[in-house]
């Protein structure tokens, strides 16, 4: 499997040859390039609270089997560059993001491959605000990695290593302090929930959050071994275990997260999926009912967010796929809520990052206020269906030529090419784009029925096959 290098970091499978996978030599190279970038852009230790004026980086990781190995290399490399390291250990992606800003550090590295299977891992790179690097900053890191013009610290200038076990508490405190998180209403609702923590860091932090909210819960796959009980992407086809548990009728809500807890999916009280696209829709509906404003999601997300936003008098905008693209657009249009249709909720009142803890707390607040079953809440929203298909790429695939062909074929429709090609029809849409994290083309399509959505996606997939 090829090593995937993008502006947001590097991702690959563990083991294999240098340059082809995520291996120790490449981990050192990209960590060094990132540290070099931070130093050249003013990394100075700021307010991190250490005795010497060295730049400081926060490191957190999910529970993947390879995590200890990657973590050791990352931390050692940073220290070798003369950086102090605050290692918060097993932590969610949003926890690590918030720890950067809480500590006043110069940046952060999250060791996680998100929803990818167990053989994958990755380095996600943060700036001093605890947000993902911009496209231009990420490009600089990649250029530095290719040049390999590095200078390491001499013995008296090596960085220090600090363990920190408070980051989960900081995160939960930030979530519970949000004005729209109604702790009393949630507690008084006496919710009982079932959680699938997919053998990663969700099994550590979610019980702490639910305890603070006064919610009764059962955790499935809660032991953070990194040996995932099922495919870790929170899609219906992977969630038969918790869906069957929900069908016993013992719970008000099912909660599913991915290994780094930035994606969130809900399951209704009867065992049916709420729909991962509707995680953001429902949370946005609650936020917009209390706070007037605009919303943003990426091009591959459901139109239901647009409909709900306009119902509340706001304006919806679309961004290219990728968290940094969404947050950039949110800042541009002053969005009060946004995210991605894969279950990623971004609420600026907490921070500019996808955060399942924020999503859970806001969703439970909405549910408590409305006093409805989860299935009844789902019925309040416009009903669309998204078909998600994929095409595996070969080394000879000319993706640009394929996308240009698609644009030409549908030039009389509304076409958006800021990220692949999205074709908007009056009552449906289809979006083709090359994945940033896997060697595939994603083909997402939405329509009034799943059959129509899938047919539209398959039509565009055939264009790819015909031109590959």
User: Which residues have a catalytic role annotated?
Assistant: 114
H or E element at residue 285: helix 277-290
Nearest to 388 by CA among 275, 279, 306, 282: 275
Residue pair 191/364 in contact (Cβ under 8 Å)? The answer is yes
Q: How far apart are CA 351 and CA 98, in angstroms?
A: 7
Nearest to 182 by CA among 370, 377, 380, 378: 370
What φ, ψ does residue 81 adopt, rounded to 5°? Answer: -90, 0
**Strand, coil or helix: what is 323?**
helix
In 389-444, alpha helices (H): 399-409
Enter the tokens of residue 40: 């050249």
Q: How far apart are CA 115 and CA 112, in angstroms?
A: 9
E-strand ranges in 304-384 read 316-319, 335-340, 344-346
E-strand ranges in 341-450 read 344-346, 385-392, 414-416, 421-424, 429-434, 440-447
Q: How far is CA 46 from CA 31, 79, 85, 89, 453, in A?
A: 20, 17, 14, 22, 51
Q: How far apart are CA 109 and CA 35, in angstroms?
A: 10
H or E element at residue 220: strand 216-220
Measured CA angle at 158 (ends 152, 164), to 5 deg = 120
* Sign of the alpha-carbon torsion through 294, 296, 302, 303: positive
């Amino acid at each position: 499997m090829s090593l995937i290098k993008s502006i947001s970091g590097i991702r690959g499978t563990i083991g294999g040859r240098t340059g082809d996978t995520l291996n120790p030599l490449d981990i050192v190279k990209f960590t060094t390039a990132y540290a070099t970038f931070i130093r050249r852009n003013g990394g100075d230790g700021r307010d991190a609270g250490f005795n010497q004026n060295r730049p400081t980086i926060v490191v957190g990781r999910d529970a993947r089997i390879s995590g200890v190995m990657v973590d050791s290399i990352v931390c050692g490399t940073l220290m070798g560059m003369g950086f102090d390291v605050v290692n918060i250990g097993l932590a969610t992606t949003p926890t690590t993001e918030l720890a950067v800003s809480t500590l006043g550090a110069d940046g952060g590295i999250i060791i996680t491959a998100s929803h990818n299977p167990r053989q994958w891992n990755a380095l996600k790179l943060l700036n001093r605000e605890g947000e993902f690097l911009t496209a231009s900053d990420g490009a600089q890191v990649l250029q530095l990695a290719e040049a390999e013009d590095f200078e390491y610290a001499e013995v008296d200038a090596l960085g220090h290593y600090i363990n920190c076990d408070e980051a989960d508490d900081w995160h939960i405190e930030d979530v519970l302090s949000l004005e729209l998180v109604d702790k009393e209403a949630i507690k008084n609702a006496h919710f009982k929930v079932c959680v699938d923590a997919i053998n990663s860091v969700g099994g550590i932090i979610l019980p702490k959050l639910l305890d603070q909210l006064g919610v009764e819960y059962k955790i499935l796959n809660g032991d953070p071994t990194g040996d995932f009980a099922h495919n870790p992407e929170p899609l219906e086809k992977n969630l038969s275990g918790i869906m069957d548990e929900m069908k016993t009728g013992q719970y008000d809500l099912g909660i599913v997260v991915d290994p780094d807890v930035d994606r969130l999916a809900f399951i209704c009280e009867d065992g049916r999926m709420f729909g991962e696209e509707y995680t953001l829709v429902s949370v946005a509906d609650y936020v917009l009912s209390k706070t007037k404003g605009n919303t943003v999601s990426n091009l591959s997300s459901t139109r239901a967010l647009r409909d709900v936003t306009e119902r509340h008098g706001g304006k919806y905008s679309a961004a290219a796929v990728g968290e940094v693209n969404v947050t950039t657009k949110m800042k541009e249009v002053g969005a009060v809520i946004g995210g991605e249709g894969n279950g990623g909720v971004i609420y600026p009142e907490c921070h500019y990052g996808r955060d399942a803890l924020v999503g859970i707390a806001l969703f439970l607040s909405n549910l408590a206020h409305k006093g409805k079953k989860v299935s009844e809440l789902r019925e309040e929203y416009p009903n669309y269906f998204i078909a998600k298909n994929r095409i595996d790429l070969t080394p000879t695939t000319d993706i640009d030529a394929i996308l240009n062909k698609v644009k030409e074929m549908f030039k009389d429709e509304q076409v958006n090419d800021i990220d692949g090609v999205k074709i908007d029809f009056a009552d449906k849409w289809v979006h083709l784009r090359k994945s940033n994290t896997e060697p595939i083309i994603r083909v997402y399509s939405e329509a009034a029925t799943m059959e129509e959505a899938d047919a539209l996606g398959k039509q565009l997939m055939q264009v790819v096959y015909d031109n590959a």
